Amino acid sequence: MAGNSLVLPIVLWGRKAPTHCISAVLLTDDGATIVTGCHDGQICLWDLSVELEVNPRALLFGHTASITCLSKACASSDKQYIVSASECGEMCLWDVSDGRCIEFTKLACTHTGIQFYQFSVGNQREGRLLCHGHYPEILVVDATSLEVLYSLVSKISPDWISSMSIIPSHRTQEDTVVALSVTGILKVWIVTSEISGMQDTEPVFEEESKPIYCQNCQSISFCAFTQRSLLVVCSKYWRVFDAGDYSLLCSGPSENGQAWTGGDFVSADKVIVWTENGQSYIYKLPASCLPASDSFRSDVGKAVESLIPPVQHRLLDRTDKELLICPPVTRFFYGAREYFHKLLIQGDSSGRLNIWKISDTPEKQEGEEANSKSGLEITTSVSLQEAFDKLNPYPAGIIDQLSVIPNSDEPLKVTASVYIPVHGRLVCGREDGSIIIVPATQTAIVQLLQGEHMLRRGWPPHRTLRGHRNKVTCLLYPHQVSTRYDQRYLVSGGVDFSVIIWDIFSGEMKHIFCVHGGEITQLLVPPENCSARVQHCVCSVASDHSVGLLSLREKKCIMLASRHLFPIQVIKWRPSDDYLVVGCSDGSVYVWQMDTGALDRCVMGITAVEILNACDEAVPAAVDSLSHPAVNLKQAVTRRSLAALKNMAHHKLQTLATNLLASEASDKPKK
């Protein structure tokens, strides 16, 4: 920043809390902070008290895609660092104490799991991040710089890793990394301090590769109590193995046909396993699974059906449980505070956290017999919206004083906004179709500072533009993007299928475009080196899968591309060839000639990826390629991995179902 100027961003959410569809959960080592990542890319920090009361503290912005995993990144007690990863390969290192982003990097791969690993070099201890995901290896990343140091690779049957666990060795300097591939092959790597301390080394190959026939693995957990057992949770069953030779000790089927999504050891003789709908069960392991027992390993080699342990407890849900648009995320943690906690934490699509305190002897505390009907009640349950509702006074919106509805406590909702620094104005589109133009500084003062201005009716001074018949969905001030546009023009789009040009100074409606058959979802500005005619256009994208080039100078649509079969995900440009390139959600790419409006070609697969990458030379091709469905499909086919194909298909179907449910929820009329 030039001079001594300081830019301080201010966010006013209003009474409605931001959406927070939780996709990852983490509890810090000190047990004082719960970290949640969401599908929108934000990270929320929740303060956890000794009494297990939860209060949201901060919302961190740094990712542009859904958060796939969270992990601690430092073992020091005076530093609480975490690392997050997103679907598009982004990795961020955060300081939980103040919310700072310390380091950022972007890799050409998607991580689905990260585990922190610490080793000693002389008198110093260093940290590494072991990452796995949609690639056939485990990447070892420096926990401070987020630099990839080396990788753990497979000579035999290389494939994507479903889950992994680190088994520490207290007698030697050799730790073991145990992982399970999507095809059910168990992989074992030996990691020494000499290898961990080196950089840019040759790949480390596995020590052992063994099929254990665990398909669709969800998680692997090492028992810290016995230092001898492994819990492997698959969608249809869970199994306990001896960590010495990976012999099967016991197994349990899914309850009521529900798919398992994870599990962990509660104690030496108990495991907790949870399902995709958020239901959790505690099982008591037989004596043959306990190394301290005389009958340890006595059931090795017996049929799986005879190794099923009984359910000891079931964790009860909230009585007023609401309908969720995607499966909740559940994790088990050991919380260490003034006294020892074992916590099961669950986050769902409504931004709610549910916490169960797990006791070693729950039946004694609850006064119940240990049977499958006994249940543990929720200890704490809070949502982001409930935290907002408890605030006094209520959180202010940016133009609440101008959006009062008669006989209603709720103001008109702001559905789109754009800040114009050169004029010091804030433009807000509202759900009734009106657009408010206000001076930004005075508007912020009204909400943040108390004074006489709060009693003035209609303060701050404002202008109202009326033209849309329903909700305003997007706003664009083209002159802010490029000075080639007239600084008077403001462009708005709405759910009434229309795009309107406004004179921001006089408030006059200059022109209205009605060329789309769906609500306007996006307004874009073409690049500088397009043709002279296109340079005076804005690009509009609608929910009917159409794209238009609307000329602000000629006041007409010069091109309408409307043959796309799937929702539009990306718009790119090829000005040198006069091409507009449209990428759709199914991986297809349409190439349109801008001047003539003719469809040049429609391609899919690797060709589509290459065309998109060629349009954006500033971004390396490898960065975007792995996030494209065609590339994932090619990798799976090349490896001839049916499990990888099923895994990718399941992920895409789940994403589609989530989008459909979210769309249905937003379309339901409010009572």
Write the pLDDT tens digit of every residue in 487-512. Answer: 999 999 999 999 999 999 999 999 99
Q: What are phi and psi of 454, to 5 degrees?
A: -70, -20
Q: In this structure, is residue 306 part of a structural domain?
A: no
What span, in angstroms and rounded, lies between the C-alpha atoms of 633 and 654? 17
In this structure, are 388 and 482 located in the same domain?
no
pLDDT confidence band for 303 (50 / 70 / 90): low
In this structure, are 498 and 479 located in the same domain?
yes
Q: In this structure, is residue 148 part of a structural domain?
A: no
- Which uninterrupted H or E stretch holds 387? helix 384-389
In this structure, are 519 and 579 located in the same domain?
no
For residue 428, the domain's CATH number is 2.130.10.10
Percent with pLDDT over 70 in the chain: 80
In this structure, are 531 and 578 located in the same domain?
no
Q: In this structure, is residue 602 part of a structural domain?
A: yes
In this structure, are 363 and 414 located in the same domain?
no
What span, in angstroms and rounded, lies between the C-alpha atoms of 611 and 605? 10
Q: In this structure, is residue 579 part of a structural domain?
A: yes
In this structure, are 619 and 556 located in the same domain?
no
pLDDT score recorded for residue 256: 81
Percent with pLDDT over 90 in the chain: 41
In this structure, are 377 and 410 located in the same domain?
no
Q: Which of 68-72, 241-245, 595-599, 601-605 has the highest mean pLDDT?
A: 68-72
Kindly state the average pLDDT of the residues 557-564.
90
State which of 394, 409, 435 marks the end of a domain. 394
pLDDT score recorded for residue 516: 93
- Structure tokens that stand for 213 in this block: 């026939």
Domain count, the chain: 3
pLDDT score recorded for residue 313: 75
Q: Taking 90 as the threshold, does the pLDDT of residue 124 lie above it? A: no
pLDDT confidence band for 620 (50 / 70 / 90): very low
Q: How many CB atoms lie within 10 A of CB 486?
A: 15
What span, in angstroms and rounded, lies between the C-alpha atoms of 253 and 71? 29
Say if residues 82 and 76 touch (Cβ distance below 8 Å): no
Quick one: residue 266, left, alpha or beta (phi over 0 = left, psi -120 to 50 = alpha)? alpha
What secondary structure does DSSP assign to 559-624, as a single string? EEE---SS-EEEEEEEGGGTEEEEEETTS-EEEEETTT--EEEEE-THHHHHHHHHH-TTS-HHHH
In this structure, are 556 and 415 located in the same domain?
yes
In this structure, are 465 and 390 located in the same domain?
no
pLDDT in tens, 640-671: 444 455 555 666 566 655 555 555 555 555 54
For residues 235 and 257, the model is more confident at 235
Q: Taking 50 as the threshold, does the pLDDT of residue 406 lie above it? A: yes
Q: Which of 414-423, 454-463, 497-506, 591-600 has the highest mean pLDDT?
A: 497-506
pLDDT score recorded for residue 455: 55
Q: In this structure, is residue 30 part of a structural domain?
A: yes
In this structure, are 428 and 550 located in the same domain?
yes
Q: Taking 50 as the threshold, does the pLDDT of residue 569 lie above it? A: yes
Burial 23-37 (b: 16+ CB within 10 A, else e): bbbbbbbebbbbbbb
Q: Taking 60 as the threshold, does the pLDDT of residue 93 lie above it? A: yes
In this structure, are 532 and 616 located in the same domain?
no
Can you tell me which residue has the tokens 């349409």? 590
Average pLDDT, the chain: 82
Kindly state the average pLDDT of the residues 171-195.
84
Structural domain that includes position 556 = 396-562
Lowest mean pLDDT among 214-228, 441-455, 522-536: 441-455
For residues 665 and 126, the model is more confident at 126
* CA separation, residue 245 to residues 84, 188, 242, 297, 306 (Å): 33, 11, 6, 11, 21
Kindly state the average pLDDT of the residues 391-413.
73
For residues 509 and 362, the model is more confident at 509
pLDDT score recorded for residue 471: 93
In this structure, are 490 and 608 located in the same domain?
no
pLDDT score recorded for residue 305: 58
pLDDT score recorded for residue 588: 92
